[in-house]
Amino acid sequence: MKVLLKAPAKINLSLDVLHKRPDGYHEVEMIMTTIDLADRIELTLLSEDTIKITSQNRFVPDDQRNLAYQAAKLLKDKFQVKEGVQINIEKTIPVAAGLAGGSSDAAATLRGLNKLWKLGLTMDELAVLGAEIGSDVSFCVYGGTALATGRGEKIEHLPAPPSCWIVLAKPLIGVSTADIYRRLQLNGVSHPNTAGMIESIHQQDFAGVCKNVGNVLEDVTLNVYPEVAQIKEQMYRFGADAVLMSGSGPTVFALVQHDSRMHRLYNGLRGFCDQVFAVRMLGERHTLD
Ligand code: ATP
């Protein structure tokens, strides 16, 4: 028996860090939305009690370091599952890019194993379990668009933002999220207007969304990797309506409403950048089917 799932990437329309908590995590406010750039996860039931991971991408770990492996192990231990699984990850989402690829693979594995191993868990229960694997996994269990608070695991669903193209560009560097958070100095940073972004989404106000994009980690990453700033400049030059770094980077995305500008941006950036994608947002949340 097999289950096939799409594990979509997310972008942060806004990312704010409020303070560092006594437990070492940062208290965040993030507006995240899933986009039509996805890994494909294939789960095959195994009769023996093992978890196997394969992927065509050599940057994806094939052992317990893989977040999808950790998702399977968590369910196996919690619910004393005696069957095993072979997890194949067909990777499309750039790795260590600020797009939550690993978290989304883990979330899809939770949804898929719930079915394959007949666990009968709800989406909310899967999201709570996801938080044990990583702060972005809870959001990735649901997908769609949401405000994530706490350390990222408290999810309030939002409507889909106004429709537009998203052009993503990733330079040939990988960024460690932990390293960027370590470098973040909260004194004097300008915080994004999270409430303004939520209001703009509710109003379906594209100009408002563009005005309110913001990421408190952007300047930190820009200082370490000047190529990220260069991509931002290029995107503005090619006519982007808004430009922002996603997560801790290095992927930068542009919001663009018109098809012709999307083509100009996409073609212009391809000569300049390692990986470039033009995609739409995924409005729908995942469901248990
Ligand atoms: P985030 O936006 O949540 O910070 P990211 O997009 O920056 O995540 P990932 O692509 O999830 O980063 O990968 C970060 C690291 O996690 C990689 O260097 C890789 O070694 C490890 N990893 C674990 N599981 C996976 C997976 N399924 N896919 C990709 N990387 C994974």
What global pTM score does this model have? Answer: 0.96
Q: Which ligand 1 atom is the nearest neighbour of the CA of 9?
A: 6
Ligand 1 centroid, distance to 179 Cα (angstroms): 14
Contact 239, 254 (CB under 8 A): no
Three-class SS state of 194: helix
Go through the domains of the chain in sequence order and give each one's CATH number: 2-158 (3.30.230.10), 165-280 (3.30.70.890)
**CA–CA gap between residue 105 and residue 117 (Å, rounded):** 17
Which of the following is catalytic: 76, 136, 232, 241?
136
Residue pLDDT, tens place only, 167-192: 999 998 888 999 999 999 998 899 99
pLDDT for 139: 98
From 93, 140, 135, select the one nearest 112 (Cα to Cα): 140
Is 10 one of the catalytic residues?
Answer: yes
Residue pLDDT, tens place only, 220-255: 999 999 999 999 999 999 999 999 999 999 999 999
Contacts of 157 (CB under 8 A, 6+ apart): 142, 144, 145, 146, 285
**CA–CA gap between residue 181 and residue 25 (Å, rounded):** 10
Strand pairing partners for 87?
43, 53
Provide the ipTM: 0.94
